[in-house]
Structure 1
């Protein structure tokens, strides 16, 4: 079941890539690289969250990181 979700996500990302890539001109190499990198990162994050949906969110990670500093400031 999850494999079909990944395949569907690949198709959607491919369509987004095709649409954005065709709109950018040949001179815009940095912009094309940025589009490719961001789409790859989004795809990677999407697959990771499909495989393991119980991962903590970014707000929980920030809370864990800064909780000791908050305790130091309260004292």
Structure 2
């Protein structure tokens, strides 16, 4: 079941790439590097969430960080 989730993520990433490809041809090197780096980070995070579904999300990290400021409110 996890393999299907990972394959689904790969298909979605390829679909996004194919849609953005015409715009990437006209853009500069920095934009291409930024696009691919953000795409890879998001892909890795999505695969990690499929493999480890109990992994805390970004909302829980923000709650953890700001919980220490609660006494000051």
TM above 0.5, one fold?
yes
Alignment TM-score, normalising by the size of structure 1: 0.77
Aligned residues: 73
5+ residue gaps, structure 2: none
Over 3 Å counting, the alpha-carbon distance change for 1:49 and 1:27 in structure 2 is closer
> Residues 5-38 of structure 1: CA distance to partner in whole angstroms, max 9, x if unpaired?
2112112211211221232235511111111111
- Which is greater in Rg? 1
* Misfit runs of 4+, over 3 Å: none
**Which residue of the partner structure matches residue 11 of structure 1?**
11
Cα RMSD, aligned residues only: 1.8
* Greater relative contact order (Cα < 8 A, sep 6+): 2
5+ residue gaps, structure 1: none
